Structure 1
C-alpha cells in the first residue's frame, strides 16, 4: 500500500496517475484572474515623453498618450496622468493640459511656476480652450477612443516646460512611479525607459527632425484592479426553445450586500425620478435585479433560413445615473467569418489569433445609437446580425449558436454556465454537474492516491 506522501518521492521521475488526475480536476474547476487579455494581447496605453528643446534650467517636452487598445476606451471625465520627479523639478508652464494642484511655490520670488509638487497630476483641457493654449491632439476633456473604433481620436498630447531638471541627456532624469487613472484605477504603468529619439516630419513632409531625448512608459489594464466585481452580464434565448437563460444570479453583486451592490433602486418605487435625482447620494444607482449588473447583453437566436440564420443583440442599461457614450461590444463566435449583414451597428473584424476571424467589434452609429441612455424606456440599443451557414461547421446543437465570450466597453461580461444554454428540443438530456458531485470526485481522487 502506497500513500500519496510516499508517492511524492517518485514524482520527479514519473508522476503517478492520482497526481495527474488531481491536477486535471484543479485546472478544469478553477479560473485565474489576470491582466492579460486574450482578445487584445498587444493592447496598452503608451506614454511617450519627447524633449524637443533645452531651456536655461531644463527643457520643453511634448507628452503623448497613445491608446493602442483595440476596444477599450477612456470616457468622461477622462484620464489623469501622474508621476514623481526624480530630482527637484518644477513645471514652469503647460499647453494642452494642466495640473490639478499648484503645490507650494513660496520659494519662488518672481513669477511662480505652474506646479511645484513633487508628484504632480495632469489632466486634459476641455473642448473650447483658447487656441493659444492648445497643441495638436489636446483638449478633448480626457476622452480617448479605442484604436479600432476611432484611431484619429485615440491620441492625446500636452506640452510641458520643466525647470531645475538638467540641460543635457546626461543630467536629465526620467520621472518615476507613473500612474494612469481613466477615470478610476485599473491601469498599472511600468518604469520609464529611454528609447531611440522620436522622428518628426515637417509640414511639407520633405524634412525629418528628431527629439533630443525620448522615453516611453507602458500602461496595462486589469479589470480586477478597475473594479472588484464585474460590470455586465449576458442572457440567452432562441426560437427553438422556450427557455430564456437569465444572467447568473449575483453576477455583479447581490441585493443587500452594500459593499458590492451599491445603491439598488426598485423600478416600481413611487416618485422614482426624485429618488434617482437625490444629490446626497453619489454612488451609482443600479436597478434592483437578480444579477445586479449595470449592463446586460441579450443574445437571441431569432430566425432560421435555408442558407442563413439571424440573431438579435440587445444591450440594456440598468444604471439610473450613467449614460454610456461611444459604447462598444466585443463578441466571440465561430461564425463571424460568415457574417453577411449587420443592421444599425458598426462592425469591425478583430483577429486576435492571427487569421482566425471569430471576434467582432460592434459599436453605435454616430448621432443615432452611439449613446446608450440611462435606465428607463430609452435605456437600450439593439441590432440584428445575419450569418451565412457553413455546411462544414454550422449546427444549432449543443449551444453552438451562442457566443463564447462578450465584452462591453472592454470589460469581460459574466456568461451563463454552458450547461444552461438553450438546447434543441430533440437533443439528449444535458448532464448536470453539482457541487456534491465535485466533492465526491475529489474523494475518489484521494482514494486512488491512497491505494496507488
Structure 2
C-alpha cells in the first residue's frame, strides 16, 4: 500500500529552532537545566513501566571440597517483559584469588586458559576472567541439572515465570573451604545476547533454604551471595530497535515510522526481491548478532502498526500488526508492551495473549501482549511469514473516550523490552473536522509541564 504523507510534516523544525521559539515562554536557565536533566536521564537503567525488573544471579555453595566448593548458580529473570533470546546469555566475572573451575554441569566456559601448572587432573578452566555459556538442549543427562541447557534462552517473568530461570553447577578449586576464607568473585558481566546489562557487586545474603522432595524437611545452602544486573536501552544501542506507524478508519492518511528511526548508518540492507536472499546460509545469525535488514525508509528491524479499525456504540476496535524486517532473526517468545489510557477497559484480545501490568503501576494503563504458545509466539524472519497480528476490542470510557487530538493512539510502545520510536504528535491521524495543533505548541507545552513536574519533585 502506498503511504501518503501528512501535510503537517512540513512543520518539522530543529532543536535550536525549538529552543529559540520556546525561550519566549520558558526562562532560558530553566530550559537549559531541563534539557540537561532529560538527556542525563536517558542513560538511567530505571524503567518506569517495570521499576523492580532485574536479573538476579544467585550463588549457593552446596558443599565444601578439599580445596574449594561446589555451587549452584541460578539466574532469575524478574523483568516483566524483557527476555533473553537466542543465542542466549553469556556470563563473566573476575576471580578474587587464584581460583580455577574444576568442572561444570549444565554450562561450560568458552576458553580453558593456561592450565600448564597442573599435572594429571586438568581443570575445566584456569582463566582469571572466565566466560560461561549455557549448554544446548539435548546434551546427555549426566551433564544436566534443573533449569539448564536451554541454549541461554530465558523467558520474561511476566510471560512465563517457570521458564524465566537458568542454572548451572560449578566446582571451584583453590578458593578457600569456609565462609571466612571464600572470597566473592568481582566485576560480573552479563550479555543477553547483546550489551545493555550492568551488574552490581556480589553481596552475601541469608543462605537459601530448600525443601526435600517429600517436602517434610528443610535444608539450606552453606553460603549464598547475589548479584543484581539491570538493563539500559541507552547502553545497548544509540538507536531504537523498533518503530511505530499509525492509521485509522476516519482518516485515509497512513502515518509511517519516522525516517531513519533506527539509524541509517547500516547501508548493507537488501531489497525484498534481491537474489542475495536465495544464497545458502544467508539467514544464519552471526556471532556479533549483526542484522541483515530489508531496505526501508526507517531501517528498523521491527515495526509495530496500530490501526484504529472500527467505532461501535459502546466499543472501539484496534488492529495491531508486528512486522520483522531482519532476515537473520527469528524472535522467539516476543513481547509487546503498550501504554494507552483505555487499556483498563480491554474486553477481548483475539489472537494474542494479554496481561495487564497492574501490580507495577498506580494506573491501569499499560499491558503486555505476547504470542499464543505453539501458534504465533515465534515472529519469523523478514519475508512472507515475518509478521504477527491481532485485534483488540476496548469498551469506551464515557468520561475519557475521544478520537480528538490523537487520543486513540498509544503513548509508549515497547518490543522485547526496548522502547520503539513513535511518530511526532503533530502528524497523528486527526478527525476530518479538526486540525492538528502546532507541533511547536505541543512540544513547548509538554516541556513546560515536565519542567513543572521536575521542580515539584526537586523541591
- 2:134 and 2:121 map into 1 onto residues whose CA distance is 24
Change (3 A) 1:155 1:432: closer
Instruction: Find out whether 1:199 has 2:213 as its counterpart.
Output: no
Instruction: Find out whether 1:55 has 2:65 as its counterpart.
Output: yes
SS in 2 for 1:433: helix
SS in 2 for 1:264: coil
TM-score by length of 1: 0.87
- 2:410 and 2:285 map into 1 onto residues whose CA distance is 41
Instruction: Find out whether 1:97 has 2:107 as its counterpart.
Output: yes
Q: Which residue of 2 aligns with 1:166?
A: 176
- 2:260 and 2:115 map into 1 onto residues whose CA distance is 51
Change (3 A) 1:279 1:358: closer
- 1:104 and 1:308 map into 2 onto residues whose CA distance is 67
Q: Are the equivalent residues in 1 in contact too, given 2:426–2:436 (CA < 8 A)?
A: no
Q: Which residue of 1 aligns with 2:46?
A: 36
1:237 aligned to which of 247, 260, 282 = 247
Q: Are the equivalent residues in 2 in contact too, given 1:330–1:359 (CA < 8 A)?
A: yes
Q: Are the equivalent residues in 2 in contact too, given 1:41–1:352 (CA < 8 A)?
A: no
1:323 aligned to which of 330, 346, 362 = 330
Change (3 A) 1:377 1:103: same
Q: Which residue of 1 aligns with 2:271?
A: 266
TM-score by length of 2: 0.86
Instruction: Find out whether 1:79 has 2:93 as its counterpart.
Output: no
Q: Are the equivalent residues in 1 in contact too, given 2:51–2:360 (CA < 8 A)?
A: no
Deviation for aligned residue 1:106: 1.2
Q: Are the equivalent residues in 1 in contact too, given 2:405–2:436 (CA < 8 A)?
A: no
Q: Are the equivalent residues in 2 in contact too, given 1:276–1:321 (CA < 8 A)?
A: no
Instruction: Find out whether 1:131 has 2:141 as its counterpart.
Output: yes
Q: Which residue of 2 aligns with 1:23?
A: 30
Deviation for aligned residue 1:271: 5.7
Deviation for aligned residue 1:183: 1.2
Question: When the two structures are aligned, how many residues end up with a matched partner?
Answer: 417
Q: Which residue of 2 aligns with 1:3?
A: none
Q: Which whole-Å deviations, capped at 9, do the CAs of 1:353-399 have from their partners, x for residues lacking one?
A: 54421111111111211111111121111000000011011111111
Deviation for aligned residue 1:274: 3.2
| Structure 1 unaligned regions, length at least 5 | 1-16, 439-452
- 1:53 and 1:210 map into 2 onto residues whose CA distance is 11
- 2:324 and 2:26 map into 1 onto residues whose CA distance is 47
Q: Are the equivalent residues in 2 in contact too, given 1:310–1:387 (CA < 8 A)?
A: yes
- 2:386 and 2:145 map into 1 onto residues whose CA distance is 37
2:416 aligned to which of 399, 402, 409 = 409
Instruction: Find out whether 1:117 has 2:122 as its counterpart.
Output: no
- 1:19 and 1:423 map into 2 onto residues whose CA distance is 28
Q: Are the equivalent residues in 1 in contact too, given 2:283–2:328 (CA < 8 A)?
A: no
Q: Are the equivalent residues in 2 in contact too, given 1:263–1:284 (CA < 8 A)?
A: no
SS in 2 for 1:126: coil
Larger Rg: 1
Change (3 A) 1:25 1:312: farther
What RMSD in Å do the two structures reach over aligned CA positions?
2.4
Deviation for aligned residue 1:229: 1.4
Q: Which whole-Å deviations, capped at 9, do the CAs of 1:276-327 have from their partners, x for residues lacking one?
A: 8398998421111111101000000000000000000000111122111111
Q: Are the equivalent residues in 1 in contact too, given 2:86–2:193 (CA < 8 A)?
A: yes
- 2:217 and 2:110 map into 1 onto residues whose CA distance is 37
1:252 aligned to which of 253, 257, 262 = 262
Change (3 A) 1:272 1:205: closer
Greater shift after overlay, 119-128 or 64-73? 119-128
Deviation for aligned residue 1:273: 2.4
Deviation for aligned residue 1:402: 0.3
Change (3 A) 1:366 1:86: same
> Which 4+ runs in 1 deviate beyond 3 A?
17-22, 28-32, 268-272, 278-283, 352-355
Q: Are the equivalent residues in 2 in contact too, given 1:91–1:162 (CA < 8 A)?
A: yes
Q: Are the equivalent residues in 2 in contact too, given 1:249–1:291 (CA < 8 A)?
A: yes
SS in 2 for 1:336: helix
Question: Any residues of structure 2 matched to 1:295-306 within 5 Å, and which?
Answer: 295-306=302-313
Deviation for aligned residue 1:18: 9.3
Q: Which residue of 2 aligns with 1:377?
A: 384
Q: Are the equivalent residues in 1 in contact too, given 2:285–2:329 (CA < 8 A)?
A: no
Change (3 A) 1:18 1:181: same
